[in-house]
Amino acid sequence: MKSILFVPVKDYIKSRKKLYVKFIFPMVVATTALAITLFFNFGDGEKLNAVFSEFISTQINIIAILISFSIAIITILVSADNHNIQELKNTLSNEKHYHSVNGKQLSLFQILLSNIAYNIICETVYLIFLIAVALTKSIFPLQSLKYVSAICIFVILHILLVLLESVAQMYLTFWDKK
């Protein structure tokens, strides 16, 4: 199970050129948020703990919805049998933008599918992380909650960027000549 679970992640990383771009914006925002929380006092420990708890709770709800949305996209993609989907399956991706995987250039369909599968795996791992944080937050020092919040901001922004790319690709799939 372990060997096939992260195949979409491995293929996603191997096939993307300029992958770092999807990490720069989330890293800048998360680092800025962390710096702000470290330099400014935003209240006592009780208030910070309450805000953090609400933040984690909201994140759990958002990620659960995003997982459902991503699974729905995969369902639409693999069950649709129209001309545009067939064209995606038969059109190879641009070598300028995507590396080959295992010596083969991926089709546009495989690129889209790997985007969505990568996102679902990231969302699921992140959901597990959030649940673990929610259950164990009381044993961590208050200062560490700021770092955990920065990690959460980074991960959710990365997931949203990949999801937005997938939605744009799905949109373009059903339009001719775009």
Which pLDDT tens digit goes with each residue over 48-88?
888 888 999 999 999 999 999 889 888 888 887 777 777 77
In the predicted structure, residue 168 carries a pLDDT above the cut 80 = yes
- Asked whether residue 24 is assigned to any structural domain, the reply reads yes
Judged against a pLDDT cut of 60, whether residue 165 lies above it is answered with yes
Note the pLDDT of residue 166: 84
Q: Which domain holds residue 121?
A: 2-173
pLDDT > 70 in the chain, percent: 95
Are residues 59 and 130 in contact, defined by beta-carbon separation less than 8 angstroms?
Answer: yes
Euclidean distance between CA atoms 38 and 34, whole angstroms: 6
Instruction: Give the pLDDT confidence score for residue 176 in this predicted structure.
Output: 62
Give the whole-angstrom CA distance, residue 2 versus residue 131.
Answer: 21
Tell me how far apart the alpha carbons of residues 108 and 110 are, in angstroms, rounded to a whole number: 5
Residue 60 lies in a domain: yes
Average pLDDT across the chain, whole number: 85
Confidence of residue 133 (pLDDT cuts 50, 70, 90): very high
Q: Which amino acid is at 112?
A: L
In a domain, 146, yes or no: yes
Does residue 178 belong to any structural domain of this protein? no
For residue 140, being part of any structural domain is answered with yes
**What is the C-alpha to C-alpha distance for residues 125 and 74, in angstroms, rounded to an integer?**
18
Assess contact for 62 and 174: CB atoms under 8 A: no
Q: Does residue 29 surpass a pLDDT of 80? A: yes
pLDDT for the residue numbered 1: 53
Tell me whether residue 128 is exposed, middle or buried, using C-beta atoms within 10 angstroms of its C-beta: 0 to 12, 13 to 18, 19 or more: exposed
| Total domains, the chain | 1
In a domain, 20, yes or no: yes
Residue 140 zone, left/alpha/beta (φ > 0; ψ -120 to 50; rest): beta
**If you average pLDDT over residues 153-168, what whole number do you get?**
90
User: How many CA atoms, within 13 angstroms, populate the side-chain half-sphere of residue 124?
Assistant: 12
* Model pTM score: 0.86
CA angle 53-59-61, nearest 5°? 105
